[in-house]
Amino acid sequence: MATRDFSRLNGSFDLCIIGGGINGAGLARDAAMRGLSVALVEKGDFASGTSSQSSKLIHGGIRYLQNGDFKLVFEALHERWMLTKLAPHLVRPLQFLLPVLKSDPVQGLMLKAGLTLYDTLAGFHNIHGHRMLSRSQVLEAEPTLDTSQISSGAYYYDCQMNDSRLCLENVLSSMEHGAVCVNHAAVTEFVKAGPQLVGAVVQDRLSGATATVHFKVAVNATGPWSDQILRLSEPTPPKPRLRPSKGIHVVVPRRTSGEAMLVRTRDQRVIFVLPWGRYSLVGTTETEYRDDPDKVSASEDDVMYLLEELRRLFPSPAVDRKDVFGTFAGLRPLVDSSSLPAGKLSREHSIITETSGLLTVIGGKYTTYRVVARELADRVMERLHKPGASLTHTVPLYGGDTGPMPAFLARHLARAVSVTGLESTAEHVLRAYGSRADDVLRCCQEVPRGTERLCLHTDTMRGEVAYAFTTEMAQTVEDFMLRRTWIGYGECGGRDAWPAVREVLVDHLGRDADAMDAQWLDVNKRSGNVSNPAT
């Protein structure tokens, strides 16, 4: 059971990681598995920054082939395969329909060449080879596409993931290896010996308490916030390194009949229309962002851009503003390496040693987090003069010890159904928690009416509220509604589930009712659930 213990930060560690997004969480796991003493502090919830706002794809990034980023694509395709082994419950293969529009510059042989290269770069670890499709095959697959625009198409394959839970599982796994990880804890100041950093003052954003973490090495893994940390840490802060680029997604009623889709936009970008439970997740946009990273949100222009592209593809029934259930907005922490537009900037990561000794990591993709973590941990070991190689490729993630999912489901579904009473809730538990599903089912049995669904829009059960708060370090209503689960992004914005969530929090876990009500009011602001505001 992972518990948040802020007071444990008052101590000495080999490594202090600032930022609990996927890069910080991945590093915590890698370093703790090598035997280092590790502290990780995250000012919000784990994955509350960019790492819960992604397109939720573990992918090679087919569009980067156009930029000639072959090394990145090759590495990402290898990681795609690796993550299907390490976290099969959270990373699953997905078929993509790529409809070619008459206006697309890439057609026929050129498209075939690109997809062949993508398959080749995946090598023996490919999910499935691509298949070219005729116009009628595309329309048969997606009959509601605008028939007048389609010229041909193709199927290709990548993976879909649960970004916030994959990040969380890295945190939980690192804690099993001894790391001290604390969410809602922000670094506010550094302790220095001359120019060198030797400690960090951390503020508990829940209680207001402070702690001082002493460390031998510190890593700045704050993604879009990394320039802010540099302003605190460096004797002479360097000029901003980041060119943050905002990307948003909208959650709308399901538009595709099953597969994911990748389509070219009128301004020659690509967007995804992804199956996401009973919804479609549509995105993303790419616009320069210079404001405070804490304030990033989807603007009306961003939302309308995506809706117009969606209406162009699927003219009937046309998706309207009122059909948008929720929005995501995140910042790509891109390295400011050239004057190219954000869409053309490389997704390669960069690790910089600052004058103060701080290691800063920026850039990269979610997909390649394990590679970034390994490289960072290698650098830390070098600094500490300690031997030890990365083990993250050998040990499954926190709930990942399932083996192939179809066989796992076949083995465990009947028993899970005997506990939950419904096949859909049983399957949800097995897929969300993988090899930890039994712990969750036990917890659900201990909570009054714990195996009942929170509402009709979700398969999440009442007992999972207790599990999230007691075992997965959820601290606030938002942590539960937007990251341990995605209930807050759904069609009722979590409104229908809230009475049951509240009951478990207040009656079963003894939380203060007024505090919970106040936190609930904040959830809809963050989820962008404007069509169904909280009442």
Identified binder of ligand FAD from the candidate list 13, 50, 309, 428, rule CB under 6 A: 50
Beta strands in 410-476 (DSSP E): none
Shortest Å, Cβ 108 to ligand FAD: 27
**According to the 3-state scheme, what is the secondary structure of 350-394?**
EEEECCCCCEEEEECCCCCHHHHHHHHHHHHHHHHCCCCCCCCCC
Considering just the CA atoms, what is the radius of gyration of the chain in Å?
23
Region near ligand FAD per CB under 6 A, out of 21-29, 92-100, 103-111, 456-464: 21-29
Q: Are 100 and 150 in contact (CB under 8 A)?
A: yes
**Residue 262 or 444 having the CB closest to ligand FAD:** 262
CA dihedral (76, 33, 399, 43) positive or negative: negative
Burial label, 394 (beta-carbon count in 10 A; 0-12, 13-18, 19+): exposed
- Minimum distance of ligand FAD from residue 48's CB (angstroms): 5
Check binding of 528 to ligand FAD (CB under 6 A). Answer: no
Give bridge partners of residue 275 from the DSSP assignment. 280
Q: Which amino acid is at 205?
A: R
Q: What is the nearest approach in angstroms of ligand FAD to the Cβ of residue 72?
A: 10
Could you tell me which of 416, 434, 414 has the C-alpha nearest to residue 425? 416
Nearest residue to 87 via CA among 164, 157, 2, 182:
164
Name the residue among 22, 14, 17, 18 with its Cα closest to residue 349: 22
Q: Which residues contact 46 (CB under 8 A, 6 or more apart)?
A: 20, 21, 25, 164, 167, 168, 171, 181, 183, 473, 483
Site string for ligand FAD, 210-229 (x = CB under 6 A): -----------xxxxx----
Under DSSP, is residue 45 helix (H, G, I), strand (E, B) or coil?
coil
Name which position in 247, 400, 434, 490 contacts ligand FAD (CB under 6 A). Answer: 247
The minimum distance between CB 201 and ligand FAD, in angstroms, equals 11
Would you count residue 83 as binding ligand FAD (CB under 6 A)? no
The minimum distance between CB 376 and ligand FAD, in angstroms, equals: 11
Looking at the Cβ atoms of 114 and 223, the one nearer to ligand FAD is 223
If binding is defined by CB under 6 A, does position 174 make contact with ligand FAD?
Answer: no
Cα separation, 286 vs 248, whole angstroms: 8
Is the Cβ–Cβ distance between 302 and 285 less than 8 Å?
Answer: yes
Instruction: Give me 282's structure tokens.
Output: 């549509």
Here's the x/- map for ligand FAD, 51-70, by CB under 6 A: it reads as x-xxxxx-x-----------
State yes or no: residue 22 binds ligand FAD (CB under 6 A): yes
What is the greatest pairwise CA distance in the chain?
70
What distance in Å separates the CA atoms of residue 162 and residue 54, rounded to the nearest whole number? Answer: 10
Interaction between residue 494 and ligand FAD (CB under 6 A): no
- For residues 362 to 391, the per-residue mask of contacts with ligand FAD, x marking binding by CB under 6 A and - elsewhere, is --xxxx------------------------
Q: Which of 24, 199, 494, 528 binds ligand FAD (CB under 6 A)?
A: 24
Is residue 184 at the binding interface for ligand FAD, with CB under 6 A as the rule? Answer: no
CB of 448 closer than 8 Å to CB of 454: no
Q: How far is the CB of 505 from ligand FAD (least distance, A)?
A: 23
Residue whose CB is less far from ligand FAD, 459 or 478: 478
Q: Which residue lies nearer to ligand FAD by CB, 231 or 386?
A: 231
Among 130, 177, 184, 332, binds ligand FAD (CB under 6 A): 332
- Segment 133 to 172, residues that bind ligand FAD, using CB under 6 A: none
Reported as half-sphere exposure (CB side, CA atoms, 13 A), residue 376 has a value of 34
Site residues (CB under 6 A) for ligand FAD, limited to 338-357: none
Cα–Cα distance between 183 and 170 in angstroms, integer?
Answer: 14
Residue 86: which of 390, 521, 505, 447 has the closest Cα?
390
Interface stretch with ligand FAD, choices 49-57, 429-437, 461-469, 478-486 (CB under 6 A): 49-57
Q: Does 289 bind ligand FAD (CB under 6 A)?
A: no
Which listed residue (9, 20, 490, 501) binds ligand FAD by CB under 6 A? 20
What letter represents residue 288's amino acid? E
Q: How far is the CB of 365 from ligand FAD (least distance, A)?
A: 4
- Asked if residue 400 binds ligand FAD (CB under 6 A), the reply is no
User: From the CB of 117, what's the least distance to ligand FAD, in Å?
Assistant: 19
Q: Which of 344, 343, 341, 363 is nearest to 352 (CA)?
A: 363
Comparison of 171 and 319: residue with beta carbon closer to ligand FAD: 171
Under the binding rule (CB under 6 A), the answer on residue 276 touching ligand FAD is: no
**Alpha helices, DSSP H, located in 257-315:** 300-313
Q: Which range binds ligand FAD by CB under 6 A, 16-24, 312-320, 423-431, 475-483?
A: 16-24
Residue 194 is given by DSSP the state: T
What is the number of the residue whose Cβ is closest to ligand FAD? 21
Interface positions with ligand FAD (CB under 6 A): 18-24, 41-44, 48-51, 53-57, 59, 186-187, 221-225, 247, 284, 330-333, 364-367
